[in-house]
Structure 1
Amino acid sequence: MPRLVSLHLALAATALLLTACGMEDAGARNTGADAAASQDGGMRTDDPGKDGVRITSLTLPTAAPSPTRSYSVSADRLTTGSASGISATYEVTNDSTESLTYSVVFTFKSGNGGAVTNRTETVRDVGPGKTVRGTVRAGELPPTAPRVTQVGVLEVTKVPASEAPAAPGMCPASGIRVSADEGDAAMGLRVVGLHLDNCGTRAYSVEGYPLLELLDDDLEPVDGVEILDGSGEITTGAGPDEQPRPVTLEPGESATAGLVWRNTTEFGTPVNVPYARVRAKEGAAPVTVTPHFDLGTTGKLGVGPWEKAERQ
């Protein structure tokens, strides 16, 4: 009798194990339907995208599909101190009628949705109606980094391809390169530097202030913001306003000009301006930069004059 009971228990345990295995396989199949392997070996995603940019697959070392989200993949903790091996493929689709250059911030996230690392990719000259594909890599991660399981599109900016800042190391046909730095912020005061580099073969002269046109998300002009010569009406912390003077840049020389504003919010609707179309001087080719002016309700932006920068 005890042998019979033992036999029944063994058979029951076997059946239970087989049932559990079958349930696990079904779960894996369901996950695979949502995040199937793509041609590049990553996991396809159903990411809806943002502003024409979407993730198409996520690749993790020793990755296995996660049943929680169809565009999440779990993996063992990664070896750090070198490239992590984490990457995502993406596609950029231009639905407008002109060629655009995109700057996209991708965020690699942990299982709880926290950002592990952000990476920015520039996708140039996407023609109207065209789709361009690429790969973004997470790169090296610190030893304390949590496990990456997700990736998303955090921010997209796009400018007319003909007005995009030149790629690093490249010189436009004009011989003049215009760009904006990431700026600085303290106690509600914002400062962004404009940079004018003579990368050509002939001298280039400017005098006075860079010319700015503020643009909204649709690259349309923004009304209601006063562009001031100098920063004295905004802050005295930057010192007295310098008077504009002629600046001649020999090949290899640069000039800078400061953009200054406050994000103070009082009565009214706060104004946020993502883009500025910049001309070094009257008649110069325009370059559209993305300083992301959070002007609050101040309605003012101060612009400093061009000043020759010291050689690095």
Structure 2
Amino acid sequence: MRRRRPTPLLPALAATALLLTACGSEHAGTGSTGADAAGEQSVVQVDDPGKDGVRITSLTLPDPSASPSLSPSPSRDYSVSADSLGSGSGSGSDSGSGSDPGVVAHYEVTNKGAESMTYSVVFTFMSADGGAMSNQTATVRDVGPGKTVRGTIRAGVLPPTTPRITQAKVLEVTKVPASEAPAAPGTCPASGIRVSADKGDAAMGLRVVGLRLDNCGTRDYTVDGYPLLELLDDARKPVTGVRILKGSAEITTGAGPDKQPRPVTLKPGESATAALVWRNTTEFGTPVNVPYVQVRAKAGATPVTVTPNLDLGTTGKLGVRPWEKGEEG
């Protein structure tokens, strides 16, 4: 493939970028659309300080003279997988129209700590003026101490009117000890119990995050009452000054009455749900944000750390609803 000169498409990165030519040699897993072999793309080397050990090293961008229907596949040279590629929000989450332009961020995750960590990273893809065009999330598991793991993530499907993407940055990083990370989709921990949190729901200041407990093992599992929680700050140290309430009546009456806790026995393949409920009202005092919540299904259970990013405002309280039997999962 012939080499191309740098294009004026990237004024915001011109000072730090070196344009090279690259041809996709492998589809990038989730979100790959199968590019026309004739499509051309450029790799922009990025001098990015990154955030919390995660940085973008380069961007793969389609040739502006190529057809917009072409979606080149990036090459990749790593063995680790990233969960939920292309599952972010924003323009890239619109799968009903548009196409995948083949924009790919190449990143690396370096664990500078002393234990293996699992990272959840939000990347934002931007136009030349800095406007966010797509947010995408990657989960990179079991990065050992002192190790560096490399990966790629696509900007995803974009509406046809989306301005051309020329930049990307690391927007948010959360990380938990690998031993406490929620299990990867389709896997079952040694405990036989899988705990996870959903993305939550917000309406007029009321926040609700669902917790899910799946019995993926081979024996019945019984919980009785409420999940046990510990709220953790950015350094994963305990947060003080927040009351954890049994039930949500003190938070709101608009989400239905609280149900009384009762024993719930899950057979293999069955699940239970609970919920965290709060308001992000901010009045006098310092707002409290809780990025991490350590969850135990019951006393003595293995802890799982989820990352719901609770914006508790100055309310000083969090309501917890009891486990209820759910649909099979």
With normalisation by structure 1, the TM-score equals 0.83
Is 1:51–2:68 an aligned residue pair? no
- Residue correspondence of structure 1 range 147-186 to structure 2 within 5 A: 147-186=164-203
| One-letter identity of the residue aligned with 2:113 | S
Report the 3-state secondary structure (helix = DSSP H, G, I; strand = E; otherwise coil) of the residue aligned with 1:143: coil
Which structure has the highest helix share of the two?
1
Superposed, 1:277-288 pairs within 5 Å as 277-288=294-305
Amino acid in structure 2 at the alignment position of 1:36: L
**Counterparts of 2:139 and 2:43, CA distance in 1:** 22
The answer (yes or no) to whether the contact 1:38–1:57 under 8 Å persists in 2 is no
User: How far did 1:82 drift?
Assistant: 3.8
Partner residue, 1:295: 312
The equivalent of 1:61 in structure 2 is 62
Tell me by how many angstroms 1:144 deviates: 1.6
Q: Following superposition of structure 1 onto structure 2, how do residues 223-234 of structure 1 map, counting pairs within 5 Å?
A: 223-234=240-251
CA positional deviation for 1:272: 0.6
Cα 1:38–1:99 shift into 2, 3 Å: farther
- The 1-side partners of 2:156 and 2:317 are apart by 40
1:144 aligns with 2:134: no
**What SS does the corresponding residue of 1:305 show, helix, strand or coil?**
strand
Q: Of the two, which has the highest radius of gyration?
A: 1
Corresponding residue number in structure 2 for 1:78: 68
Aligned-partner Cα distance in 1 for 2:100–2:284: 49
Residue 108 (structure 1) aligned with residue 101 (structure 2): no
Structure 2 CA distance for partners of 1:44 and 1:248, relative to 1, 3 Å:
same
CA contact (8 A) 1:104 1:157 kept: yes
Give the Cα separation in 1 of the matches to 2:304 and 2:312: 21
The answer as to 2:251 corresponding to 1:251 is no
Question: Which of 133, 137, 149 is the aligned partner of 1:132?
Answer: 149
Following the alignment from structure 2 to structure 1, what is the Cα–Cα distance between the partners of residues 15 and 167?
A: 17
Q: Please tell me the residue identity of whatever aligns with 1:51.
A: D
Partners of 2:15 and 2:249 in 1: how far apart? 61
Name the counterpart of 1:17.
Answer: none
Give the share of equivalent positions with the same residue, in percent: 73
Cα offset for 1:83? 2.8
What residue ranges of structure 1 are gaps of 5+ in the alignment?
A: 1-23, 64-74
Secondary structure of the residue aligned to 1:162 is helix
What is aligned with 1:15?
A: none
* 2:231 aligned counterpart, secondary structure: strand
Q: What residue number does 1:34 align with?
A: 16
- 1:203 and 1:249 in contact (8 A); partners too: yes
- C-alpha distance in structure 2 between counterparts of 1:307 and 1:296, whole Å: 28
Structure 1: distance between partners of 2:196 and 2:277: 16
| Counterpart residue type for residue 62 of structure 2 | P
Cα shift readout 1:98-150 (whole Å, capped 9, x = no counterpart): 11100001111111111111110001011111111111111221112111111
SS at match of 1:103: strand
Q: Which residue of 2 aligns with 1:202?
A: 219
Separation in structure 2 between the aligned mates of residue 227 and residue 51 of structure 1, nearest angstrom: 29
- State the shift of 1:39 in Å: 9.2
Shift of residue 78, structure 1, vs aligned partner: 3.3
Q: Distance in 2 between matches of 1:38 and 1:255?
A: 52
Q: How far has the Cα of 1:32 moved from its partner?
A: 7.5
Q: Which amino acid aligns with 2:17?
A: A
SS in 2 for 1:120: strand
Please say if residues 76 and 147 of structure 1, whose CA atoms lie closer than 8 Å, have aligned partners that are also in contact. Answer: no
* CA spacing shift, 1:77–1:234, aligned 2, 3 Å: farther
Sort the Cα spacing of 1:201 and 1:110 in 2 relative to 1 into closer, same or farther, 3 A. same
Q: TM-score, normalised by structure 2?
A: 0.79
Alignment root-mean-square deviation, CA: 2.3
CA–CA distance in structure 2, aligned partners of residues 187 and 33 of structure 1: 44
| Partner Cα separation in structure 1 for residue 307 and residue 195 of structure 2 | 12
Q: CA deviation at 1:76?
A: 6.9
Q: Say if 1:255 and 1:35 are closer, same or farther in 2 by CA, change over 3 A.
A: same
